[in-house]
Homo-oligomer: A and B are copies of this chain.
C-alpha cells in the first residue's frame, strides 16, 4: 500500500483515480453472443454453456428435486445464519415502503403517486467455487417485499451440471420463483430477450465479470433496465486517532480479498495510525487463504494522511466510496457531512462485513464513484411510481388560462384545444 501524506487539493483527483476498465471495448464480442441468443434461444444457451462452463445441460430450469437435494447439503448452522440474515434484510427493506397521499394542488385538481412493483425481474448470480448466495438474499428479498410477480435467477452450472447448493437454498428461502442454469453474457441475453425456457424480464440485477457488465450495459440501451453500472468493489476507512489499527487493517483486507481489482483506502488524520495499520495489514495478510490475490489488490490500495477531519470528509465526498467505515470519536457528526457514499458503517464495532451479510442493509451498492448519482439497491429499485390525476370541470376551468397560454406559447395549439373543447361543452353533461 502506498502512503500519501498531506496531499494538496490539486492532487486529489489523481490520487483518488480508480483502476479503469473500459467495458465498451468488449461490446463487439458481447454483441455476438447477445444476437445469437436472441435469434436461437435455448439452443444457443446450451451451446455457450458447453463452450464456457464445460457442461452439457439438457434442462435449463432447476427442478424441485434439485432444490430438495441442495437443502440436504446445507448444514444447520448455515441455515440458521441465512435465516438471521433473511429476517434482518426483510425488516430493513420492509420499512422502505411509503404511503402516498392524494394532493389537491389546485381546487378540483387532485394528483398522487402510486408505487407498483416491476412485474418481471431477473437476478444474476455469478458462479465459481464460492458463489455469492448472500447476494441472492440481497436481491430476492426486496423483490419479494415489492411483490414482483415473476422473480427469476440465472447462475452458471458447475462442471457437474448443478448449481451450488447454497445458492439454491438461498433462492428458495428468499422467494425466487425460478432458477435457470445459465451464466455469463448468454444469461443476460436470455433475461433481456426471453427464450423458450427463460422469460423476458423488465429489469436485470446483480454482479458479474466484465463480460456480464458489458452485456448488461448493452441490453440496457434498449431492451431492459439494469440495477446500476458496475465496477470493482471498494472500501474507504475514515479514521482518527481513536481507531484500532487491527480493526482498520481487518476491514481493508476484507475488501482486498474480493479480487485483484478491489481497492481499499484509508483516510486518516493520524500519522501513527497510518504506520500501525500498514504493519497490521502485513501481519494479518500472512494468515489469509487468499493471500496472493489479496496482496495484488493491496497494490491498488492507499493510505492518505490529512490535516483535519474536515479535509478527510471533503476527500471522502470527492472519492464517493461504495463502502465507508467511519472509525472516529464523533462518528455521528461525520455521518451528517457524508454526501457521497453507498453505505456507511459508523463506529469501531461496525465492520463492513456486517452489512455484507446480516445487519439488514443491502450490499449491492454503487462503485466507481457512481454513488455521486446512484443509490444502492433498495425497495424502490423493484418498483416504479405512476402518477395519477383527476380534475373536475371546475378544476379544469381554474387551470385553463395557465394551460392554454403556455401551450400556445409553445406553439402547441391542439394541447390548448383539448382544454377549450371540454370547457365549451355543456356543463350538465359531466
Q: Which residues of A contact B (CB under 8 A)?
A: 22-24, 77-78, 80-82, 84-85, 88, 91-92, 95-96, 98, 101, 103, 105-106, 109, 111, 113, 116, 118-119, 129-134, 166, 202-203, 217, 220-222, 224-225, 229, 244, 246-247, 250-251, 253-254, 256-258, 284, 287-290, 294, 331, 335, 338-362, 370-376, 378, 380, 384-393, 395-396, 399, 401-403, 405-407, 409-419, 421-422, 425, 430
For the complex, give the distance between the alpha carbons of A416 and B290 in Å: 13
Q: Output the least CB separation between A401 and chain B (Å).
A: 6
The 10 closest A-B pairs by CB, nearest first: A130-B411, A105-B360, A225-B373, A351-B418, A353-B415, A81-B405, A81-B402, A250-B418, A88-B105, A84-B402
Known interface pairs A88-B105, A118-B372, A358-B399; 17 further A-B residue pairs with C-beta atoms within 8 A, sorted by A's residue number: A77-B401, A81-B402, A85-B406, A92-B111, A203-B373, A222-B229, A225-B370, A254-B414, A343-B386, A343-B387, A344-B386, A346-B389, A349-B396, A353-B418, A375-B385, A376-B387, A380-B380
Q: Output the least CB separation between A277 and chain B (Å).
A: 13
> Which single residue of chain B is at the shortest CB-CB distance from A355?
B389
Instruction: List the B side residues contacting A24 at CB < 8 Å.
Output: 221-222
Q: Is the CB of A129 within 8 A of B403?
A: no
Interface on chain A toward B: helix, strand, loop, or mixed SS? mixed
Instruction: List the B side residues contacting A78 at CB < 8 Å.
Output: 405-406, 409
For the complex, give the distance between the alpha carbons of A118 and B425 in Å: 46
Instruction: List the B side residues contacting A352 at CB < 8 Å.
Output: 415, 418
For the complex, give the distance between the alpha carbons of A88 and B134 in Å: 45
For the complex, give the distance between the alpha carbons of A223 and B19 in Å: 15
For the complex, give the distance between the alpha carbons of A129 and B409 in Å: 10
Q: Is the CB of B256 within 8 A of A360?
A: no
Instruction: List the B side residues contacting A84 at CB < 8 Å.
Output: 106, 399, 401-402
For the complex, give the distance between the alpha carbons of A399 and B91 in Å: 15
Instruction: List the B side residues contacting A411 at CB < 8 Å.
Output: 129-130, 289-290
Q: Is the CB of A416 within 8 A of B353?
A: yes
For the complex, give the distance between the alpha carbons of A119 and B418 in Å: 39
Known contacts A221-B229, A389-B350, A415-B356; A166/B109 CB under 8 A: no
> Which single residue of chain B is at the shortest CB-CB distance from A23?
B221
